[in-house]
Structure 1
């Protein structure tokens, strides 16, 4: 479920002062509405630069997501915004990222952003998985598979993002083609089979209006997809239909219902293939 958002002006003075040790006095604060995991989310500007700040109270149940993002950030050159600073004080954990320009990726059929997202996933597939604590894909999906043997398809040593929500992909039209997209929000970084991020993308593509067959054609733009066993893809589609059915039941709303319908459509497509 979404975390309640508060304004940067509601931080304790000591936490705000700790931020300004890195930024200098803030001249402009733009609160942002994207994302569901942060209590603080704002784009801030001072005389020395612009940053995107994410934050949670240190006693928040998902405070671990801040630590996860800080741990993986050094390994994300060319994939994600740079983490410039990390502050933990006055009961708050705050991350200061390089502020990126660009728009959220458009996943609709025919969008010019789709090749950029495919290129981004190809670059991610070539990135070494860091030696940091990460969840394993088979652990995350173990409650949702029809058979425990299906989990073997999801295991692997590769570095995954796993949350291919289009709002987590920023596309900058002012840089060369093939290198325009960046992934934000690495809280759910995972270790697993190389093809899984292409699979997670398929679900969001269907939710954006693609047929399951069209979405899978875009997945073929990611080399690792070609090594995915057909039975593994089917098991993954079925498991994620169960995931999104659970999420939409617990947190009903237009977007969760849309993802539940998309993942169920993919499951039906795989089962009928």
Structure 2
């Protein structure tokens, strides 16, 4: 369920003043529409720089997502936009991130962005484990696995993003090839088996028009994918078919139905392939 978005101008004056202690007086504010978790999402500019601001009320049911992003940011150098500052004032929690030039990744077959995303996931696979408590992948999927014993395939100690929506991947047009992609929105960061982010990417690739075979070909560009047992991949496909069936039944919007079709298609491929 998406969070209701409000404009930066509706912040309490004390919260706005706390932001401007970091930015200086704001010259421009461009509200953004991407993402589902934030009440405030805007690109702001002052005489001293430009930032992307995300914010939630401190009593919001999803306030934990702000804390998670702030806690994990120091572990994401080269993987995500840098967190420049955090403000907690007048009942609001606000994060100021660096702004990257570029575009959201295109996952369509033949897209030149696909190798960049594969490079990003390879780098993520080498990232150190952050010293914070994260939910475990097997906990997140325990109500969706076809069999309780399947959960053992998802367990592990690696840092995972788990939401490989193409709008969460920014391709920086100014960076050198092979190091251009960054992941945003780390609210659902998870600890689990090293191959799971490649598997989550498969779902979005199929939703973008790939066949399951093509999507798995791209996943195979990630070294950790080759550590996944075949039965574990099939178990993951089954669990996510159940996840997206539940989501699309509760909120039958075009994008949730597209993901439900993608996961059903992948699961059918795994069972018959």
Deviations 1:194-249 (A, max 9, x none): 00000000000000000011000000000000010000000000000110111111
- Cα deviations by residue, 1:28-80 (Å, 9 ceiling, x for unpaired): 00000000010000000000000000001111111000000000000100000
Deviations 1:62-111 (A, max 9, x none): 10000000000001000000001111111111000001111000000000
Counterparts of 2:167 and 2:95 in 1: how far apart (Å)? 19
Pairing 1:69–2:69 present: yes
DSSP 3-state at the match of 1:236 = helix
| Distance (whole Å) between structure 1 residues aligned to residue 185 and residue 206 of structure 2 | 21
In 2, Cα distance between equivalents of 1:6 and 1:250 = 24
* Aligned 1:251-266 pairs, distance under 5 A: 251-266=251-266
Q: Work out the CA distance in 2 between the residues paired with 1:133 and 1:227.
A: 25
Q: Please name the residue that 1:119 is paired with.
A: 119
In the TM superposition, what is the alpha-carbon distance from 1:251 to its structure 2 partner?
Answer: 1.4
Q: How many angstroms apart in 2 are the aligned matches of 1:83 and 1:175?
A: 19
With structure 1 as the length reference, what TM-score do the two structures score?
0.99
Give the length in aligned residue pairs.
273
Shift of 1:173: 2.1
Report SS of the residue matched to 1:52.
strand
Gaps of 5+ in 2: none
Whole-Å separation in 2 of the counterparts to 1:136 and 1:115: 28
The 4+ residue runs of structure 1 with deviation greater than 2 A are: none
Task: Tell me the TM-score normalised to structure 2 length.
Answer: 0.99
Query: Which residues in structure 2 correspond to 1:83-232 (within 5 Å)?
Result: 83-232=83-232
Structure 2 Cα separation of the partners of residues 101 and 171 of structure 1: 8
Query: Which structure 1 segments of 5+ residues have no match?
Result: none
Counterpart of 1:240 in structure 2 is 240
RMSD, matched Cα: 0.5
1:7-46 pair list within 5 angstroms? 7-46=7-46
